[in-house]
């Protein structure tokens, strides 16, 4: 191979004797003969540049080959290649555990570690725990290399399957095709999250889903009579969340909609836009059918309407196992139609509607099914204005087992339910029956700090009188662990204050 370096060095040495930096600085002017020699030198150097550029390109290519080979060699002898397949699978599962959305697992693996090499892709496709969350939603775009739904279900082995489909504006037949493709694995379905129109749900046939325990159904109108009919095959359904979205047709009242019977249900959540309404005749039959199994009921509805003929059950439904009830906005009217003798937590929230919350609560607590000691341990009331506010104290007098009381709301100028009479009765005295003797936590929300300062003396007196277990009028009183004041000023972050008694 011709040594281009020697040729270039010879040309540079000859050129430097004819034209140097020193000559340039001294202002020397070459003669005609000298100019001729310098021109010849310039021509020779210029003609050598293409060879130099070619050599540079050759060396760059050679360097890239060397670097590539180094990477390959380092990869072949890397410690990770000595890891057992089981350890690599665990690492992949750990990577998926860092995502907050379980339905992102498959997409994350497919777009990262499964593209490293054939070996890792094979390991990933043989790790069932990476593939048992199946989603067709817009936020989980499937790439050309992504396995089909049926193949993903097969990759999950025998693990329980979790399915998500939330494409509201797709054609009504898509949920049918999705579930039909996964139907051979229906015995493994553990949870489903599906959002579609009522017509789309109506077209889904009944599927035998013996192990389905959790379903979240998001409906869009117009309503139909049996959009949940396909869930009849879920013989062991435990948790049902039903969300009704406003439709483009702007339908406000769902009067023909029916909830299918689920006798094994332990948790039921019904969520609606605050501008929508559902009929009482839709909800009560569903509650009646699961009255012996339901432990958790959450209803958020703008309005619950009684049918035009005024028919409504006169006898409340006895919910024998119900432990937690959360009623928001218009759903509070359900208090007049259910009884829950084992209830432990009740949360009533209201912002837009105008229910007579305290009258409903009083009627609920006065039901014969609640005779004797109430088991209610946690009560939250969140509302700005109350009618019949004088009923609050009688309600509290019925709640001897109450351990936690949380009062939210009130305007910028009033204390709402927090009256001086109520606070005075919370101060224990030796010869008086105490109000809420088992109270251990009290949380109060205020719109302004000045409102809290107005009752600070009484709150400290309450704490002093309950700073240790005691007996008042033959009634045991528990220790009040503390009073929390939450300041909710518009436009500012919530501020939390802990009320402490003044040392005696």
Is there a contact between 393 and 422 (Cβ–Cβ < 8 Å)?
yes
Burial 312-349 (b: 16+ CB within 10 A, else e): eeeebbbbebbbbbbbbbbbbbbbebbbbbebbebbbb
pLDDT value, residue 139: 47
Which backbone phi and psi does 387 adopt, to 5 degrees? -90, 155
List the structure tokens of 299. 């209803």
Calpha distance 70→78 (Å, rounded): 12
Residue 1 is predicted with a pLDDT of 43
Q: What is the pLDDT of residue 274?
A: 72
Q: What is the pLDDT along the chain (504 residues), one digit of tens a residue?
A: 456 677 788 878 877 887 777 877 887 888 888 888 888 888 888 888 888 888 889 999 999 999 999 988 988 888 878 889 999 999 999 988 877 688 888 888 888 888 888 888 999 999 999 999 998 865 444 544 456 888 899 999 999 999 988 766 566 677 888 888 899 999 999 999 998 888 888 888 889 999 999 999 988 877 777 888 888 889 899 999 999 887 655 555 565 556 667 788 999 999 887 777 788 888 888 888 888 999 999 999 877 777 655 555 668 899 999 999 999 888 888 998 999 999 999 999 887 667 788 888 998 998 887 766 678 999 999 876 666 788 889 999 999 999 999 988 766 666 778 888 888 899 998 888 889 999 999 988 877 777 777 788 888 889 989 989 999 988 899 999 888 888 776 555 556 667 666 554
pLDDT at 413: 61
Helix axes 85-97, 118-125, angle to 10 degrees: 70
Three-state secondary-structure class, residue 305: strand
User: DSSP state, 114?
Assistant: G
Distance CA 78, CA 65 (A): 20
Cβ atoms of 305 and 280 within 8 Å: the answer is yes
**Per-residue model confidence (pLDDT) at position 257:** 58
Distance CA 105, CA 95 (A): 9
Q: How far apart are CA 474 and CA 470, in angstroms?
A: 10
Using DSSP's 3-state secondary structure scheme, residue 499 falls into strand
Confirm if 400 and 432 have CB atoms less than 8 A apart. no
State residue 144's pLDDT score.
Answer: 40
Per-residue pLDDT at 370: 73
Q: Going by C-beta distance under 8 Å and a sequence separation of 6 or more, which residues neighbour residue 396?
A: 402, 405, 422, 435, 436
Question: Which residues lie below 8 Å from residue 474, measured CB to CB, with a gap of 6+?
Answer: none
Q: Which residues pair with 281 in a beta bridge?
A: none
For the whole prediction, is pTM greater than 0.95?
no
Residue 368: is it exposed, middle or buried by C-beta count within 10 angstroms (0-12/13-18/19+)?
Answer: exposed
The H or E element that residue 245 is part of is strand 239-245
In angstroms, how far is CA 243 from the centroid of its own chain?
15
pLDDT confidence of residue 78: 83
């Amino acid at each position: 191979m011709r040594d281009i370096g020697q040729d270039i060095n010879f040309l540079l040495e000859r050129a430097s004797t004819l034209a140097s930096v020193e000559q340039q600085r001294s202002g020397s002017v070459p003669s005609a003969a000298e100019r001729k020699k310098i021109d010849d030198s310039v021509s020779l150097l210029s003609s050598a540049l293409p060879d130099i550029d070619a050599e540079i390109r050759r060396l760059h290519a050679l360097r890239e080959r060397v670097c590539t080979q180094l990477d390959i060699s380092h990869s072949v002898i890397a410690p990770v290649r000595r890891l057992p397949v089981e350890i690599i699978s665990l690492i992949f599962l750990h990577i998926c555990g860092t995502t907050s959305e379980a339905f992102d697992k498959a997409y994350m693996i497919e777009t990262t570690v499964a593209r490293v090499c054939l070996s890792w892709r094979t390991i990933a496709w043989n790790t069932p725990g990476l593939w048992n969350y199946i989603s067709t939603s817009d936020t989980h775009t499937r790439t050309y290399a992504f396995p089909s739904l049926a193949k993903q279900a097969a990759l999950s082995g025998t693990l329980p399957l979790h399915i998500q489909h939330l494409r509201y504006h797709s054609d009504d037949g898509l949920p049918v095709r999705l579930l039909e493709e996964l139907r051979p694995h229906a015995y493994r379905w553990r949870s489903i999250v599906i959002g579609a129109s009522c017509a789309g749900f109506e077209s889904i046939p009944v599927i035998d889903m013996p192990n389905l325990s959790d379903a979240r159904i998001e409906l869009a109108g117009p309503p139909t009579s049996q959009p949940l009919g396909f869930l009849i095959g879920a013989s062991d359904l435990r948790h049902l969340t039903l969300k009704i979205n406003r439709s483009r047709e702007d339908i406000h009242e769902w009067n023909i909609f029916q909830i299918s019977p689920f006798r094994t249900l332990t948790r039921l959540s019904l969520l609606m836009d605050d501008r929508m309404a559902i009929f009482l005749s839709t909800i009560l039959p569903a509650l009646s059918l699961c009255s012996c199994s339901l432990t958790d009921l959450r209803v958020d509805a703008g309005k619950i309407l009684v049918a035009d003929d005024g028919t409504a059950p006169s006898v409340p439904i006895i919910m024998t196992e119900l432990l937690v009830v959360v009623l928001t906005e218009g759903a509070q009217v359900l208090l007049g139609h259910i009884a829950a003798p084992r209830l432990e937590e009740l949360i009533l929230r209201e912002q837009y509607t105008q229910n007579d919350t305290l009258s409903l609560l009083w009627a609920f607590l006065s039901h014969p099914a609640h005779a004797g000691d109430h088991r209610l341990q946690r009560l939250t009331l969140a509302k700005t204005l109350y009618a019949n506010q004088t009923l609050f104290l009688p309600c509290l007098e019925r709640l001897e087992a109450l351990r936690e009381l949380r009062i939210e709301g009130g305007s910028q100028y009033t204390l709402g339910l927090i009256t001086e009479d109520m606070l005075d009765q919370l101060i224990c005295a030796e010869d008086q029956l105490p109000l809420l003797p088992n109270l251990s936590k009290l949380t109060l929300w205020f719109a302004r700090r000045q409102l809290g300062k107005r009752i600070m003396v009484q709150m400290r007196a309450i704490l002093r009188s309950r700073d240790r277990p005691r007996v008042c009028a033959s009634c045991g009183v528990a220790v009040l662990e503390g009073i929390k004041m939450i300041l909710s000023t518009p436009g500012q972050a919530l501020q939390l204050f802990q009320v402490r008694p003044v040392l005696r």
